[in-house]
Amino acid sequence: MNLLSFEHYSQIRKSLAQRLPDGLILLKGGSPVVRNGDVEYPFRQQSDFLYLSGFEEPGAWILIDPKNKKDVLFIPKADDHHLVWIGTLPTLEESRKRYGFSKVCYQGDLKSEIQTSLRGYRKIYAPKEAQNELKRLGRRSIFPEDLREALDELRAAKIPGEIELLKVSNRVSGDAHIEVMRQTRPGQYEYQAQAVFESECLKSGLSSLGYPSIVATGKNAAVLHYNKNSEKIKDGDLVLIDAGAEFRGYSADITRTFPANGRFTQKQRDIYSIVLEAQKKSISAARPGALSAELHVLSMRIIAEGLKSLGILKGEVDSLIENGAVRVFYPHGLTHMLGLDVHDVVGGKKRCVPNPTKVPVRFSARLEAGFVITMEPGVYFIRFLLESPKVQEKMKDQINFKAVKNFLDFGGVRIEDDIIINPAGAPLNLTHVPKEIDDIERLCAEGRELAHRKKRF
Ligand SMILES: [Mn+2]
């Protein structure tokens, strides 16, 4: 695929027009946000706007007129100040060629264009953020919830053009993860591993991340969204890195856990193998029709069995899942949708399915072909929970707290890949970063060998 192609965006606009044929559809792009003084945060386009246009500059609008099969992109015009300080913006001609709208105008034409297009419509589908601007245009009813619902329904299953973009962010982020495994050593700081990841993404042209990178070594890995990334990496510790870059807004979300010194200890192998088995089995079970909640329970079952075999949990696996004992070690979800938001839309109200399991889950959906989701089981030794007298009392028949003592400084393991649900058969795994123990150790050794050669020559 030609990555400069923007063809699939007009297909998406047509699909939206078909869902909301009786109103004028209006979307407002994002605006710059001030960080402090004269400094703005790096601009990131609003996700729905990006979904419908691929247009990444602030201050734009989209109008879709379903009856007349017309779509208009309103772009900001670079004034003298902008040209001097920031540089050029795409021109009308460039935007016409690139984004495939039937018409491209400057933002100044917005009002008149809306007024003309409104003839024949009683409704406007627009987000709440656009309401102020629309008030002045007469008493038309605005339906932000209907627009939200239509967009959520559409955004859930990805079309081929979107999958190509997700493949790019996954490939680049995956290569960056591999570089981190090669270059990380005990004695470095967590932020140095972060620097390797982020610079590799930037070197490939991906300048923004889907979320702040998590680099957590040793006990920090038991903090689920740790992102201070400021500690020294110790010999014998595991390094957990959860990081992903985005390409035209489509994010990767990848986690790997590897030994800082290049070799897993037996204890690390034991825990890692349990998480890996849970992850691989959950991936194979991810088919259209499968319920995300049931997959989560499947992963809990494998983790419960594994922790039981290590003498950390005791009792019946089913009751360990139901009474919350497994959740002490695995307190987050198995999966979430992935796309223009790293935790992407779940697909609208109609898609929400009741959770048939006895385990609370945040994301309960029936998987469909084209869904792109993460698979990310984990096992953590969270001191705060394991040393709490309340937890100890409640779980005394399920958790062997004596055995747990040997793991209090362990931290945790999470393994996360991004997969596409296939119409039939196993899903397609977008993430190519090695995750087998032998492969990870080989990569770490390879990194040391390369560094050694560089020193010699
Ligand atoms: Mn994730």
Domains of the chain, by residue range, sit at 7-154, 160-456
- What is the mean pLDDT of the segment spanning 15-32? 96
Band of the pLDDT at 200, cuts 50, 70, 90?
very high
Q: List the structure tokens of 323.
A: 């009474």
7-154 falls under which CATH superfamily? Creatinase/prolidase N-terminal domain (3.40.350.10)
Q: What angle do CA 204, 205, 206 make, to 5 degrees?
A: 100
Q: List the structure tokens of 40.
A: 């703005």
Q: How many A from CA of 37 to the centre of ligand 1? A: 34
Q: How many A from CA of 212 to the centre of ligand 1? A: 12
User: What's the full length of the chain, in residues?
Assistant: 457
Q: How deeply is 369 buried, as exposed, middle or buried, from its count of CB atoms within 10 A (0-12, 13-18, 19+)?
A: middle
Highest mean pLDDT among 121-135, 350-364, 423-437: 423-437
pTM: 0.96
Residue 1: is its pLDDT beyond 50? no
Q: How many A from CA of 385 to the centre of ligand 1? A: 22
Q: How many A from CA of 156 to the centre of ligand 1? A: 16
Share of the chain above pLDDT 70, in %: 98
Q: How many A from CA of 257 to the centre of ligand 1? A: 14
Pairing mode of beta strands 34-36, 70-75: unpaired
Lowest mean pLDDT across 74-78, 203-207, 259-263, 359-363: 359-363
Contact 124, 64 (CB under 8 A): no
Contact 337, 294 (CB under 8 A): no
160-456 falls under which CATH superfamily? Creatinase/methionine aminopeptidase superfamily (3.90.230.10)
Q: How many A from CA of 405 to the centre of ligand 1? A: 29
Q: How many A from CA of 182 to the centre of ligand 1? A: 23
